[in-house]
DNA sequence: GCCGTTTTCGGCCCGACTGTTTTCAGTCG
C-alpha cells in the first residue's frame, strides 16, 4: 500500500496532540508539529525517499528520532510509540479535537472527567450540565463549544484561490474608490502566497484616516456579517461566505505587518528563530533589540529582511523549507514571471467547446503579446465537447496554415484524448501533421493507480505527444485528482522527452505546486498553458505562473519561455533529443 | 525532539483573544 506524505504528516500532528495531553515537554510537542507541517508540503514522497535510502535528516525539522519513525511507518505500517501513546489515553480524545475551541488540554479534561469520547458525547455532557462544572470551563465555554460543533472542522472549507482573488481585488478597488486617503493596500496571507486554496482573506493597508477605511469595508454592500469592528481592524464575512480581515497600520510599520501576516507560519517561526540568534526579536510592529529593548520600524518588507542580512524571498516560496538558507547567501532563484512567457500551448475555439472563433482567439493571443500560440481543440472522443473528427482536424489544419494577418505565430495543435487503454484518438499519421499535441485524460477517471499510470505513460511514448495536459485531471473543490503514480509519470516524462503541463485554469492548477517542485528537481520540461475557452481567459496565465513560482521554477525550467526560434527548434527535434536540449538550458 | 556565526548542551516565535481567572491557561494563526 502506498504511504502518502499527508498520512505521515497527520500521524505526527496526532502524536503532538497526544503528547500535549500527557503534559509532555512543550518543545518536543513543537518539534513534532514542525515536522508534520514541513512534511505536508514536501515535494517528494517520503515513502520513496525511504525506499531509496535517502537521508531524511537533511529535511529541516527532521532529526534522528523522527526519521526513524518515518522509516518504521513506511516499512511496517505503524509506529510503536504512537500506538503506545494512544493506548495510554482515553478513547476518542483526538476526535474531540475536531471541534474548534477544543484543544488537547480541554479534550483530555473532557474525556477523563465526563467519559465522552465522541462529539455526540460532548453534546450530551453539556446538556447534562457536567461539562460546565469542570475546572476552567463554564457556561460560556459550553455555549461556544456547542456553537462550534455546528461548524465542525473539515478539511474542505477552504476557498479556491480563483474565487478568492477576484473578491480581494474588488474589495481593494472599492475601498480605493470610497477612501481617497487609502495609500497602500495589499493582500497578505495565503492569497499573497498564491496558495491554491485560502482559508480567509487578509488585507493590509495604510491610510491617513484609518477609521474611514475600516468603516467603508463594513459598509460594503456585499458584506454579510460583521465579526469585529474596531478603529484599526475589522473582520467581516462577504457574500459567498468568506471571512475578510482588514488592518490599517501606520506607514512606518507597514513592512513588518505585511511580513508578519504573509507567513506562512513555518517561515515566520524559522525567521524569528534566526533573528533570536542575532539578539533580535521580531513581531508585527518591527524588530526589537533584545539587549537595549529598542524597536526598529520598517515601511517595507525589503528593509525588514535586509536588517536581518537576508535577501527578501518572494511570498510564493515562503514555505519554511530552504528559502531562508538561500536568502542568507543571497542566492534565491529569480523565479519565472508572466512576462517571461512567450507562448500559450493549450486553447480551444468554437470548432470544439471554445466560445469564440479561431480569429478572435488569435487576435487575443496577439494582443496578449505572445510570440506563438497553439490552437488545441478537442479530439473526436470528446463528443460532448464537439471534438473534431479526423476530417475536421485536417480542414482546420489547412485553414490555420494559411491564416494571415496576425503577429503571433500560429501553431496547429490538438488536445487529444488518452483513451482508457492509453491509445490516442487520432492515428499517428494525422498527429504527425501537428506542431503541438497535448494529450489528456478526460474519461475512465476511476481507474486504479497502476492502470492510470500505465495509460498515461503509454501516451508519453507516442513520438508525437508534446505535452501531457492537466496530468491529474482534478477540479479544485469538485473532482478529486485521478489516482496516479506521479513519480513514475515524471520519470517517464524524462525518458520520453515529454513535457508536463501546468494548467493555469484556477479550477485545475494541475500539476500542483509540490509536483512542480519535484519535476523541477528531476529536470522534467514544464509548460505553462491556460486551456482558454474564450479570449478573456488568457490572463489566467498568472495563476499557472504562480504555481510554477511556488514550485521554485526559474524561466529556464519552463519550455514556453523559449523565444520563437528556439521553441520551434525544440518541437521540431525528435523527442529523444528534446530532453538534451532542455537540459542544456537548465545547466 | 531539533539544532548550531555564543552552544554537541541549552536553548527553543510571538502576540491576540477568550473565558476563566484575581494573574493565567488554553487556543489560534
Q: Residue A333 falls within a domain, yes or no?
A: no
**Residues A462-479, mean pLDDT to the nearest whole number:** 94
**Residues A328-352, mean pLDDT to the nearest whole number:** 96
pLDDT band at A92 (very low <50, low <70, confident <90, very high): confident
Q: Residue A574 falls within a domain, yes or no?
A: yes
**pTM of model > 0.85:** yes
Task: Specify whether A375 is located in the same domain as A437.
Answer: yes
Element (H, E) at A343: strand A343-344
> Straight-line distance from CA A268 to C1' B15, in Å?
13
Task: Specify whether A539 is located in the same domain as A413.
Answer: yes
**Residues A11-22, mean pLDDT to the nearest whole number:** 92
> Straight-line distance from CA A254 to C1' B4, in Å?
32
pLDDT band at A155 (very low <50, low <70, confident <90, very high): very low
Task: Specify whether A237 is located in the same domain as A278.
Answer: no
Domains in chain A, number? 4
Q: Which of A289, A306, A328 is the last residue of a domain?
A: A328
pLDDT digits (tens, 9 = 90+) for A242-269: 889 999 888 888 999 999 999 899 999 9
**Residues A565-581, mean pLDDT to the nearest whole number:** 96
pLDDT band at A290 (very low <50, low <70, confident <90, very high): confident
- The CATH number for A313's domain is 3.30.210.10
**Residues A357-375, mean pLDDT to the nearest whole number:** 97
pLDDT at A565: 97
Helix (H), strand (E), coil (C) string for A164-216 = HHHHHHHHHHHHHHHCCCEEEEEECHHHHCCCCEECCEEEEEEECCHHHHHHH
pLDDT at A419: 95
Q: Please check the confidence at residue A572 and state whether its pLDDT lies above 70.
A: yes
Is the peptide bond between A511 and the residue preceding it cis, with omega within 30 degrees of 0?
yes
**Residues A310-323, mean pLDDT to the nearest whole number:** 94
Task: Specify whether A322 is located in the same domain as A451.
Answer: no
Radius of gyration of chain A, Cα coordinates, nearest whole angstrom:
26
Q: Residue A543, Cα to own-chain centre: how many angstroms?
A: 10
> Straight-line distance from CA A81 to C1' B3, in Å?
23
Q: Residue A24, Cα to own-chain centre: how many angstroms?
A: 33
pLDDT at A420: 95
Nearest one of A474, A535, A463, A537 to A501, comparing CA atoms: A474
pLDDT at A153: 55
Nucleotide nearest to A108 (CA to C1'): B26
Task: Specify whether A369 is located in the same domain as A507.
Answer: yes
Q: Which of A193, A214, A248 is the last residue of a domain?
A: A248
pLDDT band at A74 (very low <50, low <70, confident <90, very high): very high
pLDDT at A573: 97
Nucleotide nearest to A25 (CA to C1'): B1
Nucleotide nearest to A270 (CA to C1'): B13
**Residues A232-236, mean pLDDT to the nearest whole number:** 85
Considering only CA atoms, which residue is closest to the C1' of nucleotide B18?
A141
Considering only CA atoms, which residue is closest to the C1' of nucleotide B20?
A136
Considering only CA atoms, which residue is closest to the C1' of nucleotide B21?
A136
A509 and A193 Cβ atoms separated by less than 8 Å: no
**Cα–Cα distance measured from residue A549 to residue A338, given in angstroms and rounded to the nearest whole number:** 10
Q: Please check the confidence at residue A148 and state whether its pLDDT lies above 90.
A: no
Tell me how many helices (H) and strands (E) chain A has.
25, 17
Cell of A510: 494541475
Task: Specify whether A197 is located in the same domain as A69.
Answer: no
Q: Which of A131, A154, A177 is the last residue of a domain?
A: A154
Q: Which residues pair with A413 in a beta bridge?
A: A376, A436
pLDDT at A156: 53
**Cα–Cα distance measured from residue A31 to residue A62, given in angstroms and rounded to the nearest whole number:** 8
Task: Specify whether A265 is located in the same domain as A409.
Answer: no
Q: Which residues pair with A281 in a beta bridge?
A: A288
Average pLDDT, chain A: 92
> Straight-line distance from CA A138 to C1' B19, in Å?
8
**Residues A327-337, mean pLDDT to the nearest whole number:** 95
Cell of A20: 500535549
- The CATH number for A195's domain is 3.30.460.10
**Residue A481: DSSP 8-state:** P
> Straight-line distance from CA A154 to C1' B14, in Å?
27
Nucleotide nearest to A106 (CA to C1'): B26
pLDDT at A443: 92
> Straight-line distance from CA A264 to C1' B5, in Å?
26
Select the highest-mean-pLDDT range: A84-98, A243-257, A301-315.
A301-315
> Straight-line distance from CA A236 to C1' B15, in Å?
21
Task: Specify whether A469 is located in the same domain as A529.
Answer: yes
pLDDT at A239: 82
Considering only CA atoms, which residue is closest to the C1' of nucleotide B15?
A283
Nucleotide nearest to A26 (CA to C1'): B12
Where in the sequence is the domain holding A319, given as residue range(s)? Answer: 254-328
pLDDT band at A507 (very low <50, low <70, confident <90, very high): very high
Greater model confidence, A133 or A240: A133
Instruction: Read off φ and ψ for residue A233, nearest 5 degrees.
Output: -145, 140
Task: Specify whether A140 is located in the same domain as A55.
Answer: yes
Q: Residue A348 falls within a domain, yes or no?
A: yes
> Straight-line distance from CA A10 to C1' B27, in Å?
19
Task: Specify whether A439 is located in the same domain as A561.
Answer: yes
Q: Please check the confidence at residue A406 and state whether its pLDDT lies above 70.
A: yes
**Close Cβ partners of A558 (under 8 Å, ≥ 6 residues apart):** A336, A340, A341, A526, A527, A528, A548
Strand B: which positions are within 7 A of a protein CB? 1-3, 5-7, 11-15, 17-21, 25-29
Instruction: Read off φ and ψ for residue A27, nearest 5 degrees.
Output: -75, -30
Instruction: Express as a percent the part of chain A with pLDDT over 90.
Output: 71
Q: Please check the confidence at residue A526 and state whether its pLDDT lies above 70.
A: yes
Give the SS3 label for residue A43: coil
> Straight-line distance from CA A66 to C1' B9, in Å?
20
Task: Specify whether A351 is located in the same domain as A497.
Answer: yes
Q: Please check the confidence at residue A151 and state whether its pLDDT lies above 70.
A: no
Task: Specify whether A172 is located in the same domain as A286.
Answer: no
> Straight-line distance from CA A26 to C1' B2, in Å?
13
Considering only CA atoms, which residue is closest to the C1' of nucleotide B6?
A277
**Residues A89-95, mean pLDDT to the nearest whole number:** 87
Q: Residue A381 falls within a domain, yes or no?
A: yes
**Residues A124-131, mean pLDDT to the nearest whole number:** 88
Considering only CA atoms, which residue is closest to the C1' of nucleotide B28?
A101
Considering only CA atoms, which residue is closest to the C1' of nucleotide B12?
A27
Greater model confidence, A293 or A310: A310
Amino acid at each position: 500500500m502506498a504511504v502518502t506524505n499527508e498520512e505521515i504528516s497527520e500521524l505526527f500532528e496526532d502524536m503532538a496532540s497526544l503528547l500535549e495531553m500527557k503534559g509532555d515537554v512543550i518543545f518536543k510537542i513543537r518539534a513534532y508539529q514542525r515536522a508534520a507541517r514541513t512534511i505536508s508540503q514536501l515535494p517528494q514522497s517520503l515513502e520513496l525517499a525511504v525506499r531509496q535510502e535517502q537521508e531524511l535528516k537533511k529535511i529541516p525539522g527532521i532529526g534522528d528520532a523522527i526519521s526513524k519513525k518515518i522509516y518504521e511507518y513506511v516499512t511496517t505500517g505503524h509506529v510503536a510509540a504512537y500506538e503506545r501513546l494512544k493506548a495510554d489515553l482515553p478513547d476518542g480524545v483526538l476526535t474531540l479535537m475536531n471541534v474548534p475551541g477544543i484543544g488537547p488540554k480541554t479534550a483530555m479534561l473532557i474525556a477523563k472527567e465526563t467519559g465522552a469520547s465522541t462529539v455526540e458525547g460532548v453534546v450530551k455532557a453539556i446538556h447534562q450540565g457536567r461539562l460546565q462544572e469542570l475546572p476552567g470551563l463554564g457556561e460560556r465555554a459550553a455555549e461556544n463549544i456547542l456553537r462550534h460543533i455546528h461548524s465542525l472542522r473539515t478539511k474542505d472549507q477552504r476557498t479556491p484561490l480563483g474565487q478568492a482573488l477576484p473578491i480581494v481585488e474588488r474589495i481593494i478597488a472599492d475601498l480605493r474608490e470610497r477612501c481617497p486617503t487609502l495609500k497602500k493596500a495589499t493582500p497578505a496571507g495565503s492569497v499573497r502566497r498564491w496558495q491554491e486554496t485560502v482559508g480567509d482573506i487578509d488585507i493590509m493597508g495604510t491610510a491617513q484616516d484609518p477609521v474611514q477605511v475600516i468603516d467603508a469595508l463594513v459598509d460594503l454592500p456585499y458584506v454579510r456579517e460583521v465579526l469585529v469592528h474596531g478603529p484599526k481592524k475589522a473582520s467581516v464575512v462577504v457574500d459567498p461566505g468568506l471571512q475578510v480581515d482588514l488592518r490599517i497600520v501606520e506607514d512606518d510599520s507597514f513592512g513588518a505587518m505585511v511580513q508578519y501576516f504573509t507567513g506562512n507560519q513555518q517561515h515566520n517561526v524559522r525567521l524569528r528563530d534566526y533573528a533570536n540568534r542575532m539578539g533580535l526579536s521580531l513581531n508585527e510592529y518591527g524588530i526589537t533589540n533584545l539587549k537595549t529593548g529598542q524597536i526598529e520600524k520598517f515601511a517595507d518588507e525589503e528593509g525588514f529582511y535586509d536588517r536581518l542580512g537576508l535577501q527578501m524571498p518572494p511570498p510564493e516560496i515562503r514555505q519554511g523549507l530552504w528559502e531562508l538558507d538561500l536568502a542568507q547567501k543571497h542566492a534565491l532563484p529569480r523565479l519565472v514571471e508572466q512576462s517571461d512567457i512567450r507562448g500559450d500551448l493549450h486553447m480551444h475555439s468554437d470548432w470544439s467547446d471554445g466560445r469564440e472563433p479561431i480569429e478572435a482567439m488569435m487576435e487575443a493571443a496577439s494582443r496578449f503579446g505572445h510570440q506563438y500560440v497553439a490552437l488545441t481543440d478537442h479530439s473526436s472522443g470528446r463528443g460532448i465537447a464537439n471534438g473534431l473528427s479526423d476530417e475536421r482536424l485536417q480542414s482546420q489544419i489547412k485553414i490555420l496554415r494559411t491564416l494571415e494577418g496576425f503577429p503571433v505565430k500560429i501553431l496547429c495543435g490538438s488536445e487529444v484524448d488518452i483513451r482508457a487503454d492509453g491509445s490516442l484518438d487520432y492515428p499517428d499519421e494525422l498527429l504527425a501533421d501537428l506542431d503541438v499535441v497535448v494529450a489528456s485524460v478526460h474519461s475512465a477517471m476511476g481507474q486504479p493507480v497502476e492502470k492510470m499510470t500505465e495509460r498515461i505513460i503509454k501516451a508519453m511514448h507516442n513520438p508525437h505527444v508534446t505535452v501531457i495536459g492537466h496530468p491529474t485531471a482534478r477540479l479544485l473543490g469538485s473532482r478529486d485528482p485521478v489516482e496516479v503514480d506521479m513519480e513514475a509519470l515524471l520519470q517517464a516524462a524524462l525518458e520520453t522527452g515529454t513535457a508536463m503541463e501546468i494548467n493555469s485554469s484556477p479550477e485545475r492548477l494541475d500539476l500542483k505546486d509540490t509536483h512542480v517542485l519535484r519535476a523541477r528537481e528531476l529536470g522534467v520540461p514544464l509548460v505553462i498553458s491556460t486551456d482558454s475557452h474564450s479570449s478573456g481567459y488568457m490572463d489566467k496565465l498568472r495563476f499557472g505562473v504562480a504555481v510554477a513560482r511556488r514550485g521554485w521554477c526559474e524561466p529556464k525550467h519552463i519550455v514556453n519561455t523559449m523565444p520563437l526560434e528556439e521553441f520551434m527548434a525544440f518541437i521540431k527535434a525528435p523527442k529523444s533529443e528534446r530532453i538534451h536540449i532542455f537540459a542544456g538550458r537548465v545547466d
